[in-house]
């Protein structure tokens, strides 16, 4: 067997050893292993998840051979859970795999405590009644839950977790933490020791742009009453001032300073998102508080005291034109300041833990260090219970979606995916499921959808005839191509939840294979 570092090399570059370790400890339960469930779990197995348990009470039928690549002719008549489990085990023998031949609905009704043993449950192809029941169970047991469903040429993915906190949110674009408009003594001292008017042309073109900006901003403040550039004209004026100090047109360091001058204008205060987190009620910690909120409480104290309104310094600098000597020195200045800030947070976190009666060393130093490095990028995600969303959606949002041309098809599928469950509860089959019944099923589904809209407070609003006709034409089929997309999205979100890296999507993801697009609905 390949060494884990070689086997998982590509993904280790994305979520690192810490993320991979979290995956390898995770225990996943899959409900229903049709194409949607199988495709979802396949991605986790290939990624090296710790263990999987497949729950499905059905047998492999002839129809399964055309949409589920994890069963074949030899599987006909056998337990679907057993066949899929065997296939997935072959993909990665490091994953512990087992199956239970039972219908998920029966397990939800008769043995709710069963789900408490898992890190995450992924429930596929459940109807609304059992989605609501399972959501209640998983919330009570603090088990993460994802719903995934394929239905003809549409499908959905919905996360349901009480609270999910993210330290390593890894945003695509984020400003470097350089503190150019608020240099600490060591950075200021280093900058002051470098002469911007040095006569040596080689030395002049190798002054780091960080130093250029720190010194030029000080010069600017002297002539502008101690204030930073704020208007468009003042910002243009600063760029012209930087340009005037170039000794030659090929000085890349000054071009970098001009390009990076916008970093000087960035307000010193913390972002509104972070302000919301440190003002959250959970930041008032107690014995039952999670490590995340203990560290947030320490961060709040730091910002109010040693930080002077700012978070701990990240400690890294971007690549820039510079002499090796200057760059290494500058790097050490940022790293040292970052280390000092980390030790303050560490001490404050230990004191808070002691105060609430917990082991002062229960949070690993590596976790606190990672928290400090990512303090500007923290995220807290909270998801409404399914039952609450279904019984009391945001009426303003729902009406907006229904009347917005860009969202009308997505929200139409959202409504119809609920309407078909009502239909099935009333008529014991899904619309279009049997040949020759379309003429009867279409008006029935339309009546059911209008009734649902009325119950949600959207009286007078309707869905298009074409959409209702298409939903009936789907006949509740699971198409492999759609299942693969839904499974891919679901598994991606599962990895985010398990590794606690990147930000999971909020709301309900609706896939529209007819128009090849997708939407997120927040209701």
- Each residue's pLDDT tens digit, 81-92: 999 999 999 999
Yes or no: say if 376 and 314 are a contact pair by the CB < 8 Å rule: yes
With a CB cutoff of 8 Å and minimum separation 6, the contacts of 237 are 229
Confidence grade of residue 225 (pLDDT, cut at 50, 70, 90): confident
Distance of CA 110 to the CA centre of its chain: 33
Q: Average pLDDT in the 377-387 region?
A: 97
Q: Look at residue 126 and tell me whether its pLDDT is greater than 90.
A: yes
> C-alpha distances in angstroms, 371 versus 100, 293, 299?
40, 11, 9
DSSP tag of 512: E
Which pLDDT band holds residue 430 (cuts at 50, 70, 90)? very high
With CA atoms as reference, report the closest residue to 101 among 55, 36, 34, 51: 55
DSSP structural state of residue 386: H
pLDDT band at 4 (very low <50, low <70, confident <90, very high): low
Q: Model confidence at 336, in pLDDT bands (50, 70, 90)?
A: very high
Put simply, whether the predicted model's pTM sits higher than 0.75 gets the answer yes
**Which positions ≥6 away from 487 have C-beta within 8 Å?**
35, 36, 37, 38, 39, 40, 41, 42, 43, 148
Least confident of 257-271, 279-293, 361-375, 415-429: 257-271
Task: Please enumerate in sequence order all residues whose Cβ is within 8 A of that of 332, keeping only pairs 6 or more positions apart, or say none.
Answer: none
The domain locations on the chain are 4-167+479-521, 185-265, 272-381, 388-474
pLDDT of residue 3: 64
Q: 266-318: per-residue pLDDT in tens?
A: 777 899 999 999 999 999 999 999 999 999 999 999 999 999 999 999 999 99
Give, as one character, the DSSP assignment of residue 376: G
Which of the four pLDDT bands, split at 50, 70 and 90, describes residue 5?
Answer: low
Q: Which of 152-161, 212-221, 361-370 has the lowest mean pLDDT?
A: 212-221
Is beta strand 508-512 parallel, antiparallel or unpaired with respect to 517-521?
antiparallel
| 421 or 2, higher pLDDT | 421
* 1 pLDDT tier (thresholds 50, 70, 90): very low
Out of 169-178, 382-391, 496-505, least confident range: 169-178
Average pLDDT, the chain: 94
12-21, 53-62, 136-145, 420-429: the lowest-pLDDT one: 12-21
Q: Please state the rounded mean pLDDT for residues 445-474.
A: 94
Q: Please state which architecture CATH assigns to domain 4-167+479-521.
A: 3-Layer(aba) Sandwich (3.40)
pLDDT at 194 over 90: yes
Q: Each residue of 390-403: pLDDT tens digit?
A: 999 999 999 999 99
Residue 408 contacts residue 401 (beta carbons within 8 Å):
yes
């Amino acid at each position: 067997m390949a060494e884990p570092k070689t086997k998982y090399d590509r993904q280790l570059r994305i979520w690192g050893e810490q993320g991979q370790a979290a995956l390898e400890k995770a225990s996943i339960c899959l409900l229903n292993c049709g194409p949607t469930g199988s495709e979802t779990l396949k991605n986790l197995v290939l990624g090296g998840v710790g263990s999987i348990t497949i729950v499905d009470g059905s047998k492999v039928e002839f129809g399964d051979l055309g949409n589920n690549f994890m069963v074949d002719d030899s599987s006909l008549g056998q337990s679907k859970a057993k066949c899929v489990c065997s296939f997935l085990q072959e993909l990665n023998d490091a994953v512990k795999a087992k199956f239970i031949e039972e219908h998920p609905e029966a397990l939800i009704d008769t043995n709710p405590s069963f789900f408490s043993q898992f890190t995450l449950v992924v429930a596929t192809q459940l109807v609304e009644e059992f989605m609501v029941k399972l959501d209640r169970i998983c919330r009570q047991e603090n088990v993460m839950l994802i719903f995934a469903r394929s239905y003809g040429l549409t499908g959905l993915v919905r996360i349901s977790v009480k609270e999910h906190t993210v330290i390593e949110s890894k945003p695509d674009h984020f400003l470097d933490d350089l503190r150019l408009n608020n240099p600490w003594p060591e950075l200021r001292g280093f900058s002051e020791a470098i002469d911007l008017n040095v006569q040596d042309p080689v030395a002049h073109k190798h002054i780091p742009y960080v130093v250029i900006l720190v010194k030029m901003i000080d010069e600017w403040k002297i002539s502008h009453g101690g204030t930073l550039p704020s208007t468009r004209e003042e910002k243009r004026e600063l760029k012209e001032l930087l340009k005037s100090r170039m000794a030659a047109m090929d000085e890349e360091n000054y071009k970098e300073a001009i390009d990076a001058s916008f970093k000087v204008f960035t307000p010193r205060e913390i972002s509104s998102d972070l302000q919301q987190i440190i003002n959250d009620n959970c930041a008032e910690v107690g014995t039952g508080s999670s490590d995340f909120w203990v560290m947030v409480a320490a961060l709040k104290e730091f910002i109010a005291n040693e930080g002077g309104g700012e978070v701990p310094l990240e400690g890294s600098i971007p690549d820039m034109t510079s002499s090796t000597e200057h760059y290494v020195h500058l790097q050490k200045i940022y790293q040292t300041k970052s280390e000092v800030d980390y030790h303050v947070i560490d001490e404050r976190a230990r004191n808070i833990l002691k105060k609430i009666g917990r082991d002062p060393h229960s949070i690993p130093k590596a976790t606190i260090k990672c928290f400090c490095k990512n303090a500007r990028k923290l995220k807290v995600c909270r998801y409404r219970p399914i039952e609450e969303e279904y019984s009391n959606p945001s009426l303003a949002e729902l009406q907006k979606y229904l009347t917005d041309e860009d969202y009308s098809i997505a929200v139409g599928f959202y409504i119809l995916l609920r309407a078909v469950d009502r239909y099935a509860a009333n008529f014991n089959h899904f619309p279009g499921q049997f040949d020759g019944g379309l003429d009867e099923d279409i008006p029935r589904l339309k009546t059911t959808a209008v009734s649902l809209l009325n119950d949600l407070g959207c009286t007078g609003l309707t869905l298009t005839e074409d959409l209702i006709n298409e939903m009936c034409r789907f006949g509740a089929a699971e198409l492999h191509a759609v299942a693969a997309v839904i499974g891919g999205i679901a598994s991606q979100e599962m990895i985010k939840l398990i590794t606690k890296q990147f930000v999971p999507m909020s709301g309900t993801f609706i896939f529209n294979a007819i128009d090849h697009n997708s939407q997120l609905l927040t209701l």
